[in-house]
Chains A and B, each alone.
Chain A
Amino acid sequence: MERVPIIKIGRTLFVSIQIDLEDETVVRLQEDLANELTATGASGVIIDITAVEIVDSFIGRMLTMIGSISRLFDAETVIVGMRPAVAITLTELGLSLRGVRTALNAEKGLALLNGIA
C-alpha cells in the first residue's frame, strides 16, 4: 500500500498528495497525521491536492474528518490547490468541507496559517 509522506516545516505539517487516492491510503494518512500531530505539536496542517483529479464522497468526508481531528490537537487544516473540476464535483456531491479552510496554493495556505498563529 502506498503511503503519503508528512513533512514538518516549522510549526506546520505539510502533506502533498501525489498519488491516486484510495480509501485505504486516506485512512492510513488520517492515522499517520494524528500520530505526527501528537509527536510534534504542530499548529497547522496543509494538505496539497493539486495533483488530485478524482474525488468521491468518501474522500470528501475524510478531508473534513482530518480537519476535525487536527482541531482536537489545536491545529488548523488548510486544503490547498484544489482543481476547479474537483471543486465542482464536491459541490455537486453536496460537500462543502465545513471546518476546513481552503487556499488557492500552498503559499497562500501558509500565509493563512501564519496569520492565525
Chain B
Amino acid sequence: MEAYGGQGRMPAYLRDHHDKVVGRWAELVVTGVRGRISPDEVRHELEDLYSLLLRVMTQQDEHAMGELRAALDELSRSRARNGFTPSETALGVFSVKDAVYELVADVTELTSEYLAFSRMVDDLGLRTFETYSAAREQIIADQSVSMLELSTPVVRLWDGIVAVPLVGTLDSARTQLVMEKLLETLVSTGSEQAVIDITGVPTVDTEVAQHLLKTVNAARLLGAHCTICGIRPQVAQTIVALGIEFGDIATKATLADALAYALTNAGLKVVPA
C-alpha cells in the first residue's frame, strides 16, 4: 500500500476543517447505507477513521498506518456481517474523497497533494473490499460447517432404537459424519436397532449406496441392526437400474414400517391401549 508522502499543507488544512469534512463525509455515507446505521454511529466511526487518517498523513508515528488498517478491517468485517453490499462498504471509504475535494477544490496549491491523498484513499478502499470478501467467505465456510452439523441429527425413537433422518445430498464428508454420529450414539445409548431414513435424499447413486452399505456394516460390527427406509419410487428404480445390491440389509417402505420392524426385532409389541 502506498503511504501518503506529502509533508505539505494539506494535513494541517484538513485538521483545521475537521468538523466540516467529517460532517460531509458522514452525510454521504448515511445516504449510501440508506438508514441501516444511525447517523450518530456513522459519525462516530468516521471520526475515528478521520483522526487516524490525519495521523497517517502527518506521519507522527509509525503505528498510525497499522491502526488505520486495523480499524478499516474491523469496519469492513462488521459491514460484511450485517449484510451490506461490497460497493456500499467501499463507498464508505471512497466518499471521503468527495468530502475533501469539495473543500480543497478552490485552493489551487493543494491540488497536487489532493492527488496523493486520493491515491492513498483508493488503496484503503481496495483494502476494505478485500477484507469484506474475506469476511464473507469466512461466513460461508462457517455456515456450511453448521449446516453439516444441523443436517445430521440422530434421534431416539424408542428405548434401544435410534433413527437418522437424512435430508439432502449425501457426499463422502457427510456420510462419514453420519456414520460416526450414528455409531457413537449406538454405543453411548446402548441401542441395538438403528433406522436410516432416506426420504429426504433426492438421488442415490453407486457412491451414496456404497456409503450407506458401509454405515450398515460398521453398525453391524458394533452389534447393532440397521434398517433402511424411505426409498422413494424413483430412487428404487435407479437402485435397481444401477444394479446395486443391498444384500441382506433390511429395507422398508416407510419410517413407520421400519419402526415396527425394529420394535419386533427388539422383542417389543405394540398393542391397542
Contacts and interface: CB of A to CB of B under 8 A. Distances in A.
B222 interface: yes
Contacts of A78: 223
Contacts of A105: 190
B224 interface: yes
B218 A104 contact: no
Interface in A62-117: 78-80, 82-84, 86-88, 90-92, 96-97, 101-105, 108-109
B190 A91 contact: no
A102 B221 contact: yes
B257 to A, nearest CB: 24
A91 B215 CA distance: 8
Of B179, B180, B221, which is in contact with the most chain A CB atoms at under 10 Å from its CB? B221
B223 A91 contact: no
Main secondary structure of the interface of A (DSSP, over half): mixed
A80 B226 CA distance: 17
Interface string A8-52: 000000000000000000000000000000000000000000000
Interface in B197-221: 214, 217-221
B166 interface: no
Contacts of A82: 221-223
B183 A87 contact: yes
B158 to A, nearest CB: 16
Which of B183, B184, B190 is the most central at the interface, judged by chain A CB atoms within 10 Å of its CB? B183
Interface of B: 179-180, 183-184, 186-187, 190-192, 214, 217-224
